[in-house]
Amino acid sequence: KQEVTQIPAALSVPEGENLVLNCSFTDSAIYNLQWFRQDPGKGLTSLLLIQSSQREQTSGRLNASLDKSSGRSTLYIAASQPGDSATYLCAVNPREDAGNMLTFGGGTRLMVKP
């Protein structure tokens, strides 16, 4: 059964710092991986989707990489801002022959201090 882990569970950084959030998964038979942001008490906002054949995806100050063979993805946030404070979740979709539906990590709670 796929397990998705995000370390650290919480992170506090000063404004302007570049930072990396980590996501690891146990089964490399994935179809794609999605990064989300969740503000307190709100739903999830999709940030980036990486297909299994891709190595990275970029959107603005965000860059997500995928190393399927080692079971890892990272989300790089450049020049962090207080507005980036939120919980960041990664989720893995399995290959069609390898199980069912999205498996989520526990999230990393990010606080960016002014």
Partner 1 sequence: DVKVTQSSRYLVKRTGEKVFLECVQDMDHENMFWYRQDPGLGLRLIYFSYDVKMKEKGDIPEGYSVSREKKERFSLILESASTNQTSMYLCASSFLVRGEQFFGPGTRLTVL
- Interface with partner 1 by CB under 8 A: which residues? 31-32, 34, 36, 41-46, 49, 89, 91, 93-94, 96, 100-102, 104-107
- Closest-CA residue to 91 (of 25, 19, 33): 33
Q: Look at residues 8, 75, 3 and name the one whose alpha carbon lies nearest to residue 37.
A: 75
Specify the residue, 80 or 86, whose C-beta has the smaller distance to partner 1: 86
Report in angstroms how near the CB of residue 109 gets to partner 1 at its nearest: 12
Q: How far is the CB of 84 from partner 1 (least distance, A)?
A: 19
Q: Which two tokens stand for residue 100?
A: 């069912």
